[in-house]
Amino acid sequence: MTAAASQKQGSAQAQSRNGGSLWLRVLDPGERTLALLLLAPTALLLALIIVYPVGRLIWTSVHTLSLTSGAPAVFSGLENYQLMLEDPVFWETTRNTVLITLITVPGALVVGLCLALMANLPFRAKWPVRLSLLIPWALPLSFAGLIFAWFFHSEYGVVNDVLRRIGLPGVIWFNSAGWAFAAICLTIIWKTSSFMALIILAGLQTIPRSLYEAADVDGAGRLRQFWEITLPLLRPSIVVALIFRTITALQTFDIPFTMTRGGPGTATATLAMYIHQNTVDFLDLGYGSALAVVMFALSMIVTALYLRMIRARG
């Protein structure tokens, strides 16, 4: 738009506003004021629920603040962090969280990719397949945890029933750290792989058929087509899915909480569960905050790594 035109429009707007009543002026402000007004509720909510809490989180993490004593917050520098480094439960829950992330994110990606490739076949009726991918996504995580706790029940669980039917011994899943951890990881992979599949499926459907037809003409086999056409073209959708999945994996809480309560002992407890315990059960807000700062740092690292990966590969 030329300067003259915009000036003309501006004066026309000013004229109509002078002509209009005060009420109309309130209802029909200029473009910039309007933009500010429209974005204000978002800004207000983000300020209350994200920005102020982040500042408060960092502030609390360098104070001794426990609600059980009722004493006011006392500045204690890095004492909470020092305590944390010497706390074996912190290290164990952090290790569990990182392990869950390292196992379930690639796990969900592989399973999700398989589900997506399967769902991409030309089915006559689309809805059964679509629903089968949507139901696991829509199910609350806590429901999935309870359902799979029942699946893995040592006496009456369907998993052990199947194992026994094919001649293997049943496993007492929740009495040993390793098996309990495996059960949790399998549950998380089941719950999250269909979301991966939905994202990847959408990516698959944007790949033009002509590419495969050309590859057929050139004599490239199915496997080669998958590695050289499908996977490279899927990269953008896979990266997006991976970022979200990794960030949520670091926050894992619902499934171990409902399946094992972190047991046996603290063998399957996650960092989020330890933050929750310190905050809500022990009301030790200072220590809970220091733990949360660590998780915050972990997710920042993940986001930064992925963003670099996207940029490096274009």
Partner 1 sequence: MLSGKPLRFLVGFILVVNGMFPALWILFTSLKTEAELTQKPITWFPHAPTVANYVRAFTDQPLPLFLFNSFMVALLSTMLTLLVSVLAAYALARLKIRGRDLILSAIIAVSTFPLVTLLVPLFEIMRALGLLNSWVALILPYTVLSLPVCTLILVAFFEGIPRDLENAAMIDGCTRIGALFKVVVPLSAPGVFTAGIIAFVNAWDEFLLALSFNSSPTLRTLPVGVTLYQGEFAFPWPVISAALIVGIVPIAVLIVIFQERVVSGLTSGGMKG
CB of 283 to partner 1, least distance (A): 9
CA distance 139 to 144: 7
CB of 65 to partner 1, least distance (A): 9
CB-nearer residue toward partner 1: 138 or 309: 138
CA distance 20 to 13: 10
CB-nearer residue toward partner 1: 129 or 172: 129
Structural element, H or E, at residue 63? strand 63-64
Q: Cβ distance 36 to 264 under 8 Å? A: no
CB-nearer residue toward partner 1: 11 or 206: 206
Question: Dmax of the chain from CA atoms?
Answer: 88
CB-nearer residue toward partner 1: 149 or 266: 149
Which residue carries 């040592």 as its tokens?
154
CB-nearer residue toward partner 1: 150 or 227: 150
CB of 51 to partner 1, least distance (A): 10
CA atoms within 13 A on the CB side of 35: 2
CB of 81 to partner 1, least distance (A): 15
Q: Cβ distance 174 to 152 under 8 Å? A: yes
CB of 85 to partner 1, least distance (A): 19
- Nearest to residue 191, comparing CAs of 246, 271, 273, 255? 255
